[in-house]
Amino acid sequence: MKSQPKPIDRCATLSVGEVAQRSGVPVSTLHFYESKGLIASHRAPSNHRRYARDMLRRVAFIRVAQRVGIALADISDALATLPTSAAPSREDWARLSAGWRAELDERMAQLKKLRDTLDDCIGCGCLSIDRCRLRNPGDKLASQGPGARRLVVIQRADG
């Protein structure tokens, strides 16, 4: 005999509007997250979406990760390692954020170098002056690879 799905306690679930209001995320964004498999809802008998309360923490997790610059694909991969029926715990966040630490450190170093290197260019608005740190007469830096080579932060293998 096939077991019947457990009925959803309406008081334990939230409508999409309630999740949007509580999380500060537009309904359209919640629908997008759901289409990408980042969050899940159940359909009520009225065919309206109902979200378990732990989706609020998943949405917060997604928003925090996005705010620090983690790509949605990486967030999706991280959430795939979590149980779908429970909110991410403090331990889950610590484990996942530790995996992103090196990437965030690299981005921070890159941003600091960009900020410090562009002081002259921001002041003059021209990349062709003699003292410009980005100037590359004769394309001498082409052998080092594509892009603005003087702005690239080289990460040491030992971290």
Kindly give the confidence (pLDDT) of every residue in the chain, 159 residues in length, as a single tens digit, with 9 standing for 90 and above.
555 544 444 568 999 999 999 999 999 999 999 999 999 998 888 888 899 998 998 999 899 889 888 899 999 998 888 877 777 778 887 888 888 888 888 888 888 877 776 665 555 555 555 656 566 666 777 787 776 666 666 655 554
CB-based contacts of 105: which residues, under 8 Å, 6+ apart? none
Residue 159 pLDDT: 46
Residue 143 pLDDT: 80
Cβ 141 vs Cβ 150: under 8 Å: yes
Q: Where are the alpha helices (DSSP H) in 4-89?
A: 16-23, 27-35, 55-67, 72-79
Cβ 114 vs Cβ 87: under 8 Å: no
Q: Residue type for 87, please?
A: A
Cα 114 to chain centroid, rounded: 22
Residue 8 pLDDT: 46
Cβ 121 vs Cβ 134: under 8 Å: yes
Tokens of 98: 């530790």
Cα 123 to chain centroid, rounded: 32
Tokens of 9: 């306690």
SS3 content of the chain, % helix, strand, coil (to 5): 55, 5, 40
Separation of alpha carbons 90 and 64, rounded Å: 13
CB-based contacts of 37: which residues, under 8 Å, 6+ apart? 76
Burial grade of 23 (CB within 10 A; 0-12, 13-18, 19 or more): buried
Residue 45 pLDDT: 86
Residue 93 pLDDT: 79
